[in-house]
Structure 1
Amino acid sequence: MLVIDELKARVSESPDKNCILSPEENFTFREVDMYSNMIAKEIASMSSKEIVPLW
């Protein structure tokens, strides 16, 4: 199973349950899904010359 598949399953099961906890801020599964979709759309809109691999 891919990470995105696991996230989607958790969003469906418990959208308002905490997913990421930090001393400064917490994020629910719904919020992590929303932000990951925003990032994915931004990356998809970029040309291949703008994308820099992170390895």
Structure 2
Amino acid sequence: METRAVRVLDVTGLGLYLPHIVQAARILRYRVDNASGRCTREIAAGLRVVDRGPATPRP
């Protein structure tokens, strides 16, 4: 069995040192092995950055 929980936070205007970050996300994933009953937890984090337009290659 597997369960996931996602939390997203708008971080604009919080005074963070990362000025281009607009959203932060945390994903929690819980898994239970049906055979052994063992429970594992995995946490992932993500950041969303303001789009600055298409990138151009450097020479």
- State the TM-score bracket (shorter-chain normalisation): under 0.3
Instruction: Give me the TM-score of the superposition, normalised by structure 1.
Output: 0.21
Instruction: Give me the TM-score of the superposition, normalised by structure 2.
Output: 0.20
Select the structure that is richer in strand. 2
Tell which has more relative contact order, 1 or 2 (C-alpha 8 A, sep 6+): 2
Select the structure that is richer in helix. 1
* Greater gyration radius: 2
